Amino acid sequence: MSHGVSMDAAATRASRVDGKVILVSGGTQGLGAATARLLAARGAAGLVLAGRSRADGQALAAELTSKMTKAIFIEAELADPDAVAEVIATTDETFGVVHGLANIAACTDRGDVWNTDVALWDRLMNLNVRTPFLMLQGVARIMVREQVAGSVVTIGSMTGHGGQHFLFPYAVSKGALHTFTKNAAYALMRDRIRVNLLNLGWMDTPAEHSIQVGFHGLAQDWLVEAEAAQPFGRLIKPQEAARVITFLLSNESGMMTGVSLDYDQAVEGAGDAPKPPPNLNTHST
């Protein structure tokens, strides 16, 4: 017979966000949805799910509201500054306060140094860098007005350390978030607003499946081989990444701020140097 609390019960009590109102960008599917569900399970009083998928967003908001968390969905094209402003305004009108922000929405479109055009560059920089900034700025103003301690978690990527050649604009956009995090954390420290960055490695999401099949041309069962090759025998799962996000949003993470945290099955800077890619300059004369 087992004595004490179960692991599930202990995990539920850990990293509580009781009474907090949290805004989740990209909160309708994948990591965003997993994060919203965990925040609700750990006591969030209010959740704002911002994203493009109306059907997914409305269904998830209804699901979470039925579990004693007031959740609303705001349909928004988050690359549009006006849409971000509307998300912030609606959050404020609905709850009158916000304690946390999970900056999860992002674009992962591929491009290298030769074939990236202005449209692709702007699309990634707008959604992956400008939107997190506008989100942070908006919630910080509410936090300061209401005099609440706040926490902002932005999703970076291991690609932000350099990345693969076919992820050039994505890597640059995620690399920018390192400076974004350090600067904002320092600027907002006296306001008791913490800002941290979570750099995720390869994660198993519906969006990643679409990319592997559609862009890289892999078979529908690509995940089996990919996971077998990993040190831990699997890709990162959204539910475990959500636990780290929830920890950073909770009081459990204390005064932790300005941190760029790698969560991956590799150690940056360790091991053999990667082989250089083939000559990709198709524009040579």
Domain boundary assignment for the chain: 15-201+236-260
Confidence of residue 211 (pLDDT cuts 50, 70, 90): confident
Beta bridge partners of 70: 46
Whether 12 shows a pLDDT value over 90: the answer reads: no
Which tokens in the block code for residue 141?
A: 């103003």
Say how far apart CA 109 and CA 111 lie, in whole Å. Answer: 7
Can you say whether the dihedral through the CA atoms of 267, 268, 273, 279 is positive or negative? positive
More confident call, 265 vs 208: 265
Q: What is the chain's mean pLDDT, rounded?
A: 91
Output the pLDDT for position 90: 98
Say how far apart CA 108 and CA 202 lie, in whole Å. Answer: 12
Beta bridge partners of 151: 100, 194
Burial class (CB in 10 A: 0-12, 13-18, 19+), 150: buried
User: What amino acid is encoded at 91 in this protein?
Assistant: T
Whether 273 shows a pLDDT value over 90: the answer reads: no
Across 149-170, average pLDDT: 96
Q: Kindly compute the dihedral angle of the four CA atoms of residues 104, 106, 110, 112, in this order, to the nearest 10 degrees.
A: -90
Confidence of residue 219 (pLDDT cuts 50, 70, 90): confident
**At residue 273, what are phi and psi to the nearest 5 degrees?**
-65, 140
Across 77-102, average pLDDT: 98
Which tokens in the block code for residue 245?
A: 């996000």
Say how far apart CA 4 and CA 204 lie, in whole Å. Answer: 33
Beta bridge partners of 153: 102, 196
Confidence of residue 7 (pLDDT cuts 50, 70, 90): very low
Across 81-85, average pLDDT: 98
Is residue 268 within 8 A of residue 161, CB to CB? The reply is yes
DSSP letter at 96 equals S
Which tokens in the block code for residue 27?
A: 């909160």
Q: What proportion of the chain, given as a percentage, has pLDDT over 90?
A: 76
In the chain, DSSP assigns E strands to 21-25, 46-51, 70-75, 100-103, 150-157, 193-200, 260-263
Say how far apart CA 109 and CA 128 lie, in whole Å. Answer: 11
Output the pLDDT for position 2: 43
Across 245-253, average pLDDT: 97
Confidence of residue 266 (pLDDT cuts 50, 70, 90): confident
Whether 9 shows a pLDDT value over 60: the answer reads: no
pTM, to two decimals: 0.90
Is residue 215 within 8 A of residue 249, CB to CB? The reply is no
Which tokens in the block code for residue 205?
A: 């999401």
Output the pLDDT for position 283: 59
Confidence of residue 217 (pLDDT cuts 50, 70, 90): confident
- The 46-51 sheet, strands edge to edge: 70-75, 46-51, 21-25, 100-103, 150-157, 193-200, 260-263
Whether 161 shows a pLDDT value over 50: the answer reads: yes
Output the pLDDT for position 67: 84
CATH entry, 15-201+236-260, from 3.40.50.720, 3.40.50.2300, 3.90.1150.10, 3.30.365.10 = 3.40.50.720
Confidence of residue 158 (pLDDT cuts 50, 70, 90): very high
Output the pLDDT for position 13: 57
Whether 70 shows a pLDDT value over 80: the answer reads: yes
Asked which of 39-48, 152-161, 223-232 is least confident by mean pLDDT, the reply is 223-232
